[in-house]
Chains A and B, each alone.
Chain A
Amino acid sequence: MANQDASVSDDIESHNSDIVTVETVNNEIADLLEQSHTITHEYIVGDVSDCRTANGHLHFDLVSGDASIHCVIFSVQHQQLTATPDENMHVAVQGDISYYEARGSCSIIVTNVVHMGESEYTQVYAENKRLLAADGLLADSQKQSLPELPETVGLVTSANSDARIDAVTAICNRYPGVDINIHDSTVQGAGAIQELISGISTLDSDTTVDVIIITRGGGADNTLRVFNETPLCRVIANTETPVAVGIGHEDDQTLAGEVADHRLMTPTHAGEVVPERAQLNSELTQLSHDLPTAYHTALSDKLTTTATALNTAYQSAISQQLQQLETALDHAASRHFETQLTETQNRLHTAYQTLEQRKQHEQELEQTAEEIRTEVTAQTEAEMVTQRRRYMFVIVLLILIIIGLVVFNLV
């Protein structure tokens, strides 16, 4: 192949004497424009699009139909303008056409701007939005929920674009394992709307596709206009499969994004249609750890509770039995003491009676002794009296005898 190219190159150089570089052509175009007196107009009318500021200079595209031209207002000129160009303005600009040789691009160096009202496309956009709203296609109630865990994602985007790479990367990064069914489509210009609708319809009829993503990267506003077309919006709104739309940059608003079930800010946000697998796995791992732990804790608590209840019941039973035994023991002791007391009382009573009897007997003995003593005393006294009388009688007798004897003697 390389040899073939070299052969063709040699052939061109040998058979053609008029061969120039890009630089030469661009310089020739620049000279042609500077010398031309036919491309001079008082005003150029169009819609302002893609307004942006760079290094203090205001850049925008002046758009009319499918045609556009780059315009720039230098910062020194900016302060002197009666109107400042802004998105969706319809304006007439004055200025000089300039050709930038290095890039081969043509621009208008704007010196004056006249505001002429809303841009033509702003009115088209508003009408399209009104029609879609009238059919209820912008209502939140019309929107479907995205599947929680799609197994297959359908992707409609342009082949070999950064948007496609970003979307696929974002999906695979968030949930490795998801299948992606890609339908290549032109995303701007002629034929884009038919290819987009075809791609969406094909994926919608595929029952394995769980969610459809329509995406493209950023670009000039007029290149995104296909996504404001009502036929495309109606197809997006009427799919049975949930649709997510991510067009351009974060600040790019399209009607396709509004009728879609979910709006993605950029192609990189395509990953939002799938969950974050790492987080789900982490949660699952945590639950897998917590469940047996909680189960064992519940069992342990239940066993502890049961053991405590068993112990309490055992203690209660033992305590009850002890109390019954204590009561029985008290009763037995009481009965024993009562019996002993009764016996003691009986013995005491018997002893007392015996004592009383003895006492009475002793008294009787004492009385008998006293009587005997009295009787003996009386007898003794009587005997003593008798004895004394006898002695007296003897004495008297003796005295008489003595007297008799004396008398006798005397006599």
Chain B
Amino acid sequence: MTEHTSVHEKMNRVETIIERLESGDVSLEEAQALHQEGKELLEELSDTLALGDSEILEQ
């Protein structure tokens, strides 16, 4: 996942991580790594979606 990965790709990745964690077939180390990756992706998504106040420019 890079900074330019699309919003939906990141959301899909988080969903995949959640499904992987829910599968039960994951080691403690892998679960910790997946959780960390998911948290970072959610933070990136939150930053991406928060555009601030709208500005209308006239030309």
Contact = CB atoms under 8 A, between A and B. Distances in A.
Interface residues of B, number: 35
Contact of A277 (B31, B35, B49): B49
A287 B15 contact: yes
B32 to A, nearest CB: 8
Given A177-B51, A294-B22, A298-B22, A284 B35 contact: no
Contacts of A176: 54
Interface string B4-37: 0011100100110111011010111001001100
B55 interface: yes
B11 A283 contact: yes
A275 B45 CA distance: 14
A149 B7 contact: yes
A197 interface: no
B48 A181 contact: no
A173 to B, nearest CB: 11
A124 interface: no
Interface residues of A, number: 35
Contacts of B52: 177
Contacts of A299: 28, 31
Contacts of B57: 179-182
A78 B14 CA distance: 64
B1 interface: no
Contact of B59 (A182, A275, A290): A182
A148 B5 CA distance: 10
A291 B38 contact: yes
A172 interface: yes
Nearest to B51: A177
B41 to A, nearest CB: 9
A291 B39 contact: yes
A290 B51 CA distance: 24
B6 A302 contact: no
B28 A149 contact: no
Interface string A159-178: 00000000010001001111
B3 interface: no
Interface centre among A184, A284, A292, A299 (most CB of B within 10 A): A284
B59 A202 contact: yes
Nearest to A275: B7
Interface centre among A180, A202, A294 (most CB of B within 10 A): A294
Contacts of A178: 51, 54
Interface string B42-53: 100110111111
Contacts of B27: 302
30 contacts: A148-B6, A149-B7, A149-B49, A151-B51, A168-B56, A172-B54, A176-B54, A177-B50, A178-B51, A178-B54, A179-B54, A179-B55, A179-B56, A182-B57, A182-B59, A183-B59, A184-B58, A184-B59, A202-B59, A277-B49, A280-B7, A281-B49, A290-B18, A291-B14, A294-B18, A294-B19, A295-B21, A295-B31, A295-B35, A302-B27
Interface of B: 6-8, 11, 14-15, 17-19, 21-22, 24, 26-28, 31, 34-35, 38-39, 42, 45-46, 48-59
Interface of A: 148-149, 151, 168, 172, 175-184, 199, 202, 275, 277, 280-281, 283-284, 287-288, 290-292, 294-295, 297-299, 301-302
Given A179-B55, A298-B22, 15 more contacts: A149-B48, A182-B57, A199-B59, A277-B49, A280-B49, A284-B49, A287-B14, A291-B14, A291-B39, A292-B35, A294-B18, A294-B21, A295-B38, A297-B21, A302-B31
8 closest residue pairs by CB, A with B:
A177-B51, A294-B21, A295-B35, A298-B21, A298-B31, A294-B18, A179-B55, A291-B38
